[in-house]
Amino acid sequence: NFMLTQPHSVSESPGKTVTISCTRSSGSIASNYVQWYQQRPGSAPTTVIYEDNQRPSGVPDRFSGSIDSSSNSASLTISGLKTEDEADYYCQSYDSSLWVFGGGTKLTVL
Amino acid sequence: EVQLVQSGAEVKKPGESLRISCKGSGYSFTSYWISWVRQMPGKGLEWMGRIDPSDSYTNYSPSFQGHVTISADKSISTAYLQWSSLKASDTAMYYCARPPYWGQGTLVTVSS
On whether any CB of chain B is under 8 Å from the CB of A6, the answer is: no
Strand order in the sheet with B78-83: B3-6, B18-25, B78-83, B69-73
CB pairs under 8 A between A and B: 47
Report residue A17's pLDDT band, with 50, 70 and 90 as the boundaries: very high
Contact state of B45 with A98 under an 8 Å Cβ cutoff:
no
Is the Cα dihedral A7, A31, B56, B6 positive or negative?
positive
By residue count, chain B amounts to: 112
Considering all CA atoms of chain B, what is the largest pairwise distance in Å, rounded to the nearest integer?
A: 41
Distance from the A89 Cα atom to the nearest Cα atom in chain B, whole angstroms: 10
| CB contact (8 A) between residue B47 and residue A100 | yes
Q: Inspect the interface and report whether the beta carbons of B45 and A35 lie closer than 8 Å.
A: no
pLDDT tens for A25-67 read 999 999 999 999 999 999 999 999 999 999 999 999 999 999 9
